[in-house]
Amino acid sequence: QRPIVRLLSCPGTVAKDLRRDEQPSGSVETGFEDKIPKRRFSEMQNERREQAQRTVLIHCPEKISENKFLKYLSQFGPINNHFFYESFGLYAVVEFCQKESIGSLQNGTHTPSTAMETAIPFRSRFFNLKLKNQTSERSRVRSSNQLPRSNKQLFELLCYAESLNTLLKEFQLTEENTKLRYLTCSLIEDMAAAYFPDCIVRPFGSSVNTFGKLGCDLDMFLDLDETRNLSAHKISGNFLMEFQVKNVPSERIATQKILSVLGECLDHFGPGCVGVQKILNARCPLVRFSHQASGFQCDLTTNNRIALTSSELLYIYGALDSRVRALVFSVRCWARAHSLTSSIPGAWITNFSLTMMVIFFLQRRSPPILPTLDSLKTLADAEDKCVIEGNNCTFVRDLSRIKPSQNTETLELLLKEFFEYFGNFAFDKNSINIRQGREQNKPDSSPLYIQNPFETSLNISKNVSQSQLQKFVDLARESAWILQQEDTDRPSISSNRPWGLVSLLLPSAPNRKSFTKKKSNKFAIETVKNLLESLKGNRTENFTKTSGK
């Protein structure tokens, strides 16, 4: 029997059950099991989407009294929660208890008019709050941070960090940032609903798979399944009613047409949507734009259900053992610091590929830390059965049916072993395959071959060039070496020496190829030490300045 934590919510909203997973009786407590409530991905998505539909985004004056602001908004209905954040101005995200309150707010709102420009009238859930009397509001509200830390802040932080978990805590998406992501999708859904009233815009990728870093892009998927299947069950008697529709030669062309229209719509009418680009000839056609108020770079796709399923799979892997996310974050930060990844598309390794590599590596440990996708398929029940475009996407969705790992290796050891493993991987012969959890012969000559877990004939890292792969291998070897040195040099964990991960995140020694030569590495480590010392100096200085005030 699992204890249920019942969250109190406003009248009118459904109280949610959050199960806190207990350690199954008889299994070994390794200390690495996640203590977070493990909900099904679909439950989590539905709940957050429903919250987002009751939420509005408001551009606020710089100085505002929080109490008066809330009192003003409460006249439209009770408020469940709210927060402020800054992004080229102050914004408030306000979640009402009931969806109806939004209609009342919209009815009490007018479309602005200026002498110089003409507004295109559009009633959305994105508002602008103005003060009638500027001087009466003086206080500044506390705003939540939505931005990633700078490199300098990162190094400073790591200098004092006690474990790799610090990276995860500092970089993972916050609750507020996640809410803002669901809200942004919901606002875009309102736009798309003008054409497809039953559509759903779902976030996928790192915004929802638990591997997202603050500042990562927002991948959205326009789901038209409801529109397609709506009347499927309304068949009676001898009659079959169909909609009159336009036909096009392929699914791809249909996708291109839908996205093209939505791109135009976002460009012309979408409040806060700027820099709209229609990238319709890509393998997976998309509309890219910036959502100015949230600061998110958005990629809108449609007909991309398999990617949503991949996100669900990663969500499950991330929830199975808390070392998974911490290790993925460390590897992502390491790759970013060495420019192995980039926000610009190109011949580099992507975060998605790196995540797959970490999962594969964790499947290869002895005993394994993560199960293979095939074994997750074996645990599936009838409800989990799922075939998308002929691809079998069946795997167990109920996390409690997966046995926790007996492996007790530390995160620090795993990071070192990750670098060792891929520093010596036979990339020329073998492919990475999380479905079977073992290397296989490469089916083609791509430098890096990582099999797409569901569309098994696709390589998710097809874009990676030989030179980028070589850079990854060289850096992995160098990092394994640095961590090895740490182990031998460091007398005890508590000693006052700069800590291994910081040295891994700094740019390499000038002559990277000579990583096997102890001398040049000693030099690199000395450089790191000096840098850290200077950071420590700055920190003390800052502290003195602040406390001296």
Residue 262 φ then ψ, to 5°? -65, -35
The single residue among 77, 203, 205, 263 that binds Mg ion, judged by CB under 5 A, is 205
Nearer to Mg ion, 210 or 503 (CB): 210
**Which of 206, 304, 311, 520 is close enough to bind Mg ion by CB under 5 A?**
206
Which of residues 50, 86, 190, 217 is near ligand CTP by CB under 6 A? 217
Decide: is 55 part of the binding site for ligand CTP (CB under 6 A). no
Q: How far is the CB of 219 from ligand CTP (least distance, A)?
A: 4
Residue 385: C-alpha distances to residues 113, 306, 379, 393, 397 (Å)? 54, 14, 11, 7, 10
**Contacting range for ligand CTP; rule: CB under 6 A; set: 7-15, 55-63, 209-217, 316-324:** 209-217
Give the residue carrying structure tokens 């200085």: 541
156 binds Mg ion (CB under 5 A): no
The verdict on 219 binding Mg ion (CB under 5 A) reads: yes
DSSP 515: G
CB of 344 or CB of 382, closer to ligand CTP = 344
Distance from C-alpha of 200 to C-alpha of 221, rounded to nearest angstrom:
8
Amino acid at 61: P
439 bridge partner residues: none
- The rounded radius of gyration (Å) of the Cα atoms in the chain is 26
Say if strands 17-19 and 391-392 run parallel, antiparallel, or are unpaired. unpaired
Q: Considering only 214-222, 245-253, 397-405, 424-432, which stretch makes contact with ligand CTP by CB under 6 A?
A: 214-222
Q: Which stretch binds Mg ion (CB under 5 A): 123-131, 199-207, 408-416, 488-496?
A: 199-207
Residue count of the chain: 549
Sign of CA dihedral 402, 407, 408, 411: negative
- Ranked by CB distance to Mg ion, the top (closest) residue is 205
Looking at the Cβ atoms of 329 and 515, the one nearer to ligand CTP is: 329
d(C-alpha 85, C-alpha 422), whole Å: 40
Helices 411-423 and 351-364: crossing angle in degrees, nearest 10, is 100
Smallest separation, CB 101 to Mg ion (Å): 32
Name the segment binding ligand CTP (CB under 6 A); options: 114-122, 211-219, 270-278, 425-433.
211-219
Q: Which of Mg ion, ligand CTP, none does residue 259 bind to, with CB < 5 to 8 Å depending on kind?
A: none
Tell the smallest beta-carbon distance from residue 308 to ligand CTP (Å): 7
- Alpha helices (H) along 338-438: 351-364, 373-378, 411-423
The nearer residue to Mg ion, 206 or 451, going by C-beta atoms, is 206
Of the pair 209, 394, the CB lying nearest ligand CTP is at 209
- Residues in contact with ligand CTP, shown as a per-residue x/- string from 457 to 496 under the rule CB under 6 A: ---x------------------------------------
- CA-CA distance, 218 to 382, in Å (whole number)? 32
Q: Among 216, 237, 369, 376, which residue's Cα sits nearest to residue 299?
A: 216
The DSSP secondary-structure symbol of 205 reads G
Of 351 and 503, which has the nearer Cβ to Mg ion? 351
The residue assigned the tokens 């012309």 is 268
Q: Which of residues 316-375 bind ligand CTP (CB under 6 A)?
A: 350-352
Subset of residues 384 to 413 that bind Mg ion, contact rule: CB under 5 A? none
By C-beta, is 95 or 219 nearer to ligand CTP?
219
Binding of ligand CTP at residue 451 (CB under 6 A)? Answer: no
> Of the two residues 288 and 536, which places its CB atom closer to Mg ion in the complex?
288
CA-based nearest residue to 294, from 201, 211, 176: 176
Residues contacting ligand CTP: total by CB under 6 A: 13
Subset of residues 287 to 326 that bind ligand CTP, contact rule: CB under 6 A: 307, 310-311
Q: How far apart are CA 171 and CA 160, in angstroms?
A: 16
CB of 317 to Mg ion, least distance (A): 17
- Identify what 420 binds: ligand CTP, Mg ion, none; CB under 5 to 8 Å per kind: none
Q: How far is the CB of 435 from ligand CTP (least distance, A)?
A: 14
In the block, residue with structure tokens 């740019």: 507
Strands 430-431, 286-291: pairing is unpaired
Minimum distance, C-beta of residue 311 to ligand CTP, in the bound complex (Å) = 5
Helices within 280-387 (DSSP H only): 305-320, 322-337, 351-364, 373-378
Which of the 8 DSSP states describes residue 278? Answer: E
217 part of the interface to Mg ion, by CB under 5 A: yes
> Binding residue for ligand CTP (CB under 6 A) from 77, 212, 295, 423?
212
CB-facing half-sphere around the CA of 347: CA atoms within 13 A: 10
Give the contacts of 341 (CB within 8 A, at least 6 positions apart): 332, 335, 348, 349, 350, 351, 354
HSE toward the beta carbon, residue 309, CA cutoff 13 A: 21
Residue 349 or 482: which CB sits closer to Mg ion?
349
CA 390 to chain centre: 27
Quote the CA–CA distance of 354 and 333 in Å, as a whole number: 11
What is the binding site for ligand CTP (CB under 6 A)?
205-206, 212, 216-217, 219, 307, 310-311, 350-352, 460
What is the binding site for Mg ion (CB under 5 A)?
205-206, 217, 219
